[in-house]
Structure 1
Amino acid sequence: MDWDKLRIFHAVADAGSLTHAGDTLHLSQSAVSRQIRALEESLNTTLFHRHARGLILTEQGELLFDATKAMNKRLDAASARIRDSEEEVFGELRVTTTTGFGTLWLAPRLPKLYEQYPDLNIDLMLEERVLDLPMREADVAIRMKEPSQADLIRKRLMSVRMRLYASRAYVAEHGEIESISDIQKHRLIFQSLNSTQVAAGATLVQHLMSYEVPNIFTVNNYFGVLQGVLNNLGVGVLPDYVTEDFPDLVRVLPDLESGEVPVFLAYPEELRQSKRISAFRDFVQDEIFEHRKRIRDAAAG
């Protein structure tokens, strides 16, 4: 159905007069009448009984008027929420990031975001595939390299390095690892090289494997690597952002680490004014700032 004709029909039904509806719509009576006739022809029905005192809706007209009243109410409600959204944060926000960062860093911090914005609904999509933000496969992304897609707003959040960790219990049982050659005596846990991952992590693992490590355990994401380490299975290659949230981890061979991995937040240019995006971006930046501060304070103490 033609939305413009429905708008004119609603005004006529509400006013009960072609003339009064025309005044409201700033249209001539004849123009309003033509639109009503065209709508009746398209529906193959009569919407109004016409008599000297004005117009009365037919049964079919009443049905259509009920529908347009409901439509108007929903449009009014939407308009009000759009106006409110200039100050409020609500609705769905689709966030995509890697499985490791999403499970180990982002998800545990989301309760604080919900406390601040209880009407915000996060749809967290964890996968290594880079979703197409301009095509709106997601609203905002946190990725371990700078996005190459066009028409994106990008902000560098922090840097990550891959390092070696073991549990305190594992170190207590097996002793300190004093040199890289000692890694041959331990089970090495890492993200499998045939899975999608940052190049810096793969490079570090390849360097370690050059020491002919005989015993390995591979997983296709860092969450699995962490579980192996926490359960005393061996020494794991993990991103450094896990250290604060898992105090049982001990860094092994502290002079050994990967190259720097940049972490970027990105979203489509068309969502620049989105309050949901702004709230999420500010939240993540604040959490990273606090995370860094706690790490520095712990190192200083």
Structure 2
Amino acid sequence: MLNSNWDNLRVFLAVARHNSAVEASASLSLDHSTVTRRLKILERELGTQLFGRNSQGHVLTHAGRQLLRSVEAIENSLSMVESQVGHDNKTLIGKIRLGATEGFGSFFLTPHLCDFCERHPQIRVDVLSMPRCINLSKREADLAISVDRPTAGFYVASKLSDYRLRLYATPNYLASHPPIKSVADISHHRLIAYVDELSYSDELRYVEKLAPGALVRLRSTSIIAQLNAARRGKALAILPCFLATPCADLLPVLPDEASLVRTFWLIAHKEQREIARIRVLWDYLRQTVEINRDFLMGDSQELRFLDD
């Protein structure tokens, strides 16, 4: 018979989602010994093993997978209760964890979120700017901004904005290398790009479309690393306009021909979307992007703020 409290089930969820007791303990701010002890209590109460171990870490057994579905249903119900009753639905108090792509989160969102926190001093925002997808199903964040729209799950997804990418180089690079008068000329140049096999989205595999035949000699999983490398002046780079435009030492190359558009999606769990503090940030993000559409598309050099 299961007599465990929610804390033990929360530990189970964390280990299942991270595939690691060590990572689960870090995410829960608990000692590793506490996590393993609570797992043993849970397994003893259920009379079954919930995890196996292999080179990948903790792997759910058949019983573990069955329990995971039930516990996630409980978690969703608790979130629904939070959104329907209690102070969180009525007052703008608490923490919001916002996941975003690395460049957009670091260069565009963070300055605007300083203003948001000034507007709402009782809300704390944790920004997760990472060169990977934020996993909402693992509750890594309350809101996420992604280049991919979710195709499954209980999510609300709304198009946030299109953004443009162009080919960029420093003036010194362009002056000291063969001229680029057409897309065909790009094949004579070196390029900085993503590590395709480690790319977290097909939307980021655009080298052959934008710079066919280019000699890729430096790759990075980080768009910020690519930006910094491009500013060194040794190669071309494909960069979002919102990253490159503020850099006076970078110039667009063939801005009309070597250009493509991608989309940012704003995503949340359906039940969390109605929590007041999350709803107010959702609306703020949409308003912020709305006044910066030209900037995101590379048609303006001015980053605008709602409170200016």
1:200/1:258 contact within 8 Å kept: no
Aligned to 1:232: 233
**Aligned counterpart for 2:130 among listed residues 119, 127, 130:** 127
SS in 2 for 1:183: helix
Alignment RMSD, CA only?
Answer: 3.2
Of 234-243 and 126-135, more deviation after overlay is shown by 126-135
TM-score (ref. length: structure 1)? 0.62
Unaligned runs of 5+ in 2: 1-85, 303-308
Counting only pairs closer than 5 Å after superposition, residues 190-269 of structure 1 correspond to structure 2 as 190-202=193-205, 204-207=206-209, 210-211=212-213, 213-214=214-215, 216-257=217-258, 259-269=260-270
Residue type of the alignment partner of 2:271: E
Give the Cα separation in 1 of the matches to 2:191 and 2:169.
10
Aligned to 2:192: 189
Residue type of the alignment partner of 2:246: D
Matched, 1:137 2:140: yes
1:161/1:257 contact within 8 Å kept: no
Deviations 1:181-226, CA, capped at 9 Å, x for gaps: 3324432111121222443441x31246642x34622111211111
Query: Residue 139 of structure 1: CA displacement?
Result: 0.6
SS in 1 for 2:167: strand
Deviations 1:70-116, CA, capped at 9 Å, x for gaps: xxxxxxxxxxxx54862x42321111122232223222432222222
* Percent of aligned pairs with the same amino acid: 27
Aligned to 2:73: none
Counting only pairs closer than 5 Å after superposition, residues 156-167 of structure 1 correspond to structure 2 as 156-167=159-170
1:104/1:223 contact within 8 Å kept: no
| Residues 256 and 104 of structure 1: CA distance in aligned 2, closer, same or farther (over 3 Å) | farther
Unaligned runs of 5+ in 1: 1-81
| Residues 173 and 283 of structure 1: CA distance in aligned 2, closer, same or farther (over 3 Å) | farther
Query: Residue 273 of structure 1: CA displacement?
Result: 2.1
Aligned to 1:270: 271
Give the Cα separation in 1 of the matches to 2:183 and 2:278.
44
2:157/2:266 contact within 8 Å kept: yes
Give the Cα separation in 2 of the matches to 1:89 and 1:124.
18
1:162/1:200 contact within 8 Å kept: no
Residue type of the alignment partner of 1:171: L
Deviations 1:199-254, CA, capped at 9 Å, x for gaps: 3441x31246642x346221112111111112223210112332443344311112
SS in 1 for 2:286: helix
Counting only pairs closer than 5 Å after superposition, residues 280-295 of structure 1 correspond to structure 2 as 280-293=281-294
Query: Residue 284 of structure 1: CA displacement?
Result: 1.5
Matched, 1:102 2:142: no
TM-score (ref. length: structure 2)? 0.60
| Residues 176 and 99 of structure 1: CA distance in aligned 2, closer, same or farther (over 3 Å) | same
Aligned to 1:64: none
| Residues 256 and 101 of structure 1: CA distance in aligned 2, closer, same or farther (over 3 Å) | same
**Aligned counterpart for 1:90 among listed residues 93, 100, 115:** 93
| Residues 136 and 147 of structure 1: CA distance in aligned 2, closer, same or farther (over 3 Å) | same
Give the Cα separation in 1 of the matches to 2:301 and 2:130.
32
Query: Residue 157 of structure 1: CA displacement?
Result: 0.5
| Residues 260 and 142 of structure 1: CA distance in aligned 2, closer, same or farther (over 3 Å) | same
Of 171-180 and 89-98, more deviation after overlay is shown by 171-180
1:151/1:269 contact within 8 Å kept: yes
| Residues 200 and 141 of structure 1: CA distance in aligned 2, closer, same or farther (over 3 Å) | closer
Deviations 1:135-170, CA, capped at 9 Å, x for gaps: 533211111011123211111011133321123443
| Residues 229 and 129 of structure 1: CA distance in aligned 2, closer, same or farther (over 3 Å) | closer
Residue type of the alignment partner of 1:141: A
User: If you compute each CA radius of gyration, which structure gives the higher value, 1 or 2?
Assistant: 1
2:146/2:264 contact within 8 Å kept: yes
Give the Cα separation in 2 of the matches to 1:96 and 1:196.
17
Deviations 1:259-292, CA, capped at 9 Å, x for gaps: 5422110111111321221222122212212222
Give the Cα separation in 1 of the matches to 2:259 and 2:203.
6
